[in-house]
Homo-oligomer: A and B are copies of this chain.
């Protein structure tokens, strides 16, 4: 086990260091097996000091999962739209970039990803709140872009985009467990699914969106 030299860190740095060590460990083992002792050893601090920063093991685990989700969101962030307009082709390219980053990120962290979203953690209210926040960020991103190509934001579109996030998660997890298509086929399908579902939410948009799908 790698043990870092005891160094003086200010409280914010120390807290960030402990979370960062937890995120690294999460790539190698399920959350349930991340012990406070191991992390404290790696950081060169006492178990007691760790509990100075986190009120409980559960609180520490939630902080790890929150940071892990934040990293996933960072790696999959789309470019900002320029001057409030966007062509359908640019939207499609942007969406493809986002989904490719997403699929690659979860492929590299497949064990962590599946165990968080489909394991014990998925039943915990605090963990679920983190996942829900993450899904909301992902849905809001899509809801920023669709109106730029003329798809009006309606309650049905919001519902469809929310459902699209669940669609992408489920398709990706199914694919990680038993990949019967290539990475590119998965990405293409999840990309085309967004305009498809935007059509489903409001058939009036069909003509504007069909070019993206077919």
Contact = CB atoms under 8 A, between A and B. Distances in A.
Contact of A181 (B156, B165, B192, B206): B156
Contacts of A170: 162-163, 165-167
Interface size class of A (residues with CB under 8 A): 35 or more
Contact of A166 (B119, B169, B181, B210): B169
Contacts of A200: 189, 192-193, 196, 213
Contact of A214 (B119, B186, B192, B203): B203
Contacts of A44: none
A38 interface: no
Contacts of A199: 192, 196, 213-214
Contacts of A155: 180-181
Interface stretch (A22-30, A96-104, A122-130): A122-130
Nearest to A118: B128
A34 interface: no
A162 B156 contact: no
Interface in A8-27: none
Contact of A123 (B121, B196, B210): B121
A109 interface: no
Interface string A163-188: 11111111100110000110001100
Contacts of A175: 159
Contacts of A119: 123
Residue among A122, A162, A197, A206 facing the most chain B CB atoms (10 A cut-off): A197
Interface string A143-172: 000000000000110111011111111110
A46 interface: no
A197 B214 CA distance: 12
Given A121-B123, A123-B121, A158-B180, A167 B197 contact: yes
Contacts of A189: 156, 159-160, 200-201
Given A123-B124, A162-B170, A166-B167, 13 more contacts: A120-B123, A122-B123, A159-B186, A159-B189, A160-B171, A163-B167, A166-B170, A189-B200, A192-B199, A193-B197, A203-B214, A206-B213, A206-B214
